[in-house]
């Protein structure tokens, strides 16, 4: 059973968003890391890049497959988690502690379209 952390927003493509004021951290869920298997590479955007909701902003590569990362929110990339360059496996061992991007949110109302932990749990069970 995939773990779901309370207090985060979730997308149907299994990214999570943790809001901190006008900024947010973005990562992938436990369900996503489990489905992908051992992750070997994370392709991240550059700082200051703009990401747009529902559009691809990077990719994760595992021993099984490469999968696009889809932006759950729009905004400007403030920071990427460069620790993942050398230890991409952190996304497997600690998916909610390992953020991929820190972004400045351009439209906080976009969060309304995302799921909370309870809704995301139900969504994962339905898959």
User: How far apart, in whole angstroms, are the C-alpha atoms of residue 60 and residue 62?
Assistant: 7
Q: How far is the CB of 30 from other proteins (least distance, A)?
A: 15
Q: How far is the CB of 29 from other proteins (least distance, A)?
A: 15
By CB under 8 A, name the binding residues for other proteins: 35, 37-41, 61, 63-66, 88-89
User: How far apart, in whole angstroms, are the C-alpha atoms of residue 23 and residue 14?
Assistant: 19
- Between residues 9 and 120, which has the closer beta carbon with respect to other proteins? 120
User: How far apart, in whole angstroms, are the C-alpha atoms of residue 69 and residue 62?
Assistant: 13
- Of 126, 26, 36, 31, the residue nearest 80 (C-alpha): 26
**Contact (CB, 8 A) for 12 and 123:** yes
Q: How far is the CB of 61 from other proteins (least distance, A)?
A: 8
Q: How far is the CB of 90 from other proteins (least distance, A)?
A: 12
- Between residues 79 and 87, which has the closer beta carbon with respect to other proteins? 87
- Between residues 39 and 114, which has the closer beta carbon with respect to other proteins? 39
Determine how many CB atoms are found less than 10 A away from the CB of residue 116: 14
- Between residues 2 and 111, which has the closer beta carbon with respect to other proteins? 2
User: How far apart, in whole angstroms, are the C-alpha atoms of residue 89 and residue 102?
Assistant: 19
């Amino acid at each position: 059973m995939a773990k779901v952390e309370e207090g985060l927003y979730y997308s149907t493509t299994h990214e999570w968003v943790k809001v901190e004021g006008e900024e947010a951290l973005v990562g992938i869920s436990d369900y996503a890391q489990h489905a992908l298997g051992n992750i070997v590479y994370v392709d991240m955007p550059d700082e200051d890049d703009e990401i747009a909701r529902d559009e691809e902003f990077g990719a994760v590569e595992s021993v099984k497959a490469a999968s696009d990362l889809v932006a759950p929110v729009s905004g400007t990339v403030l920071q990427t988690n460069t620790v993942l360059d050398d230890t991409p496996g952190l996304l497997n061992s600690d998916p909610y502690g390992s953020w991929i991007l820190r972004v400045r949110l351009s439209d906080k109302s976009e969060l309304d379209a995302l799921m909370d932990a309870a809704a995301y749990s139900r969504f994962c069970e339905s898959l």
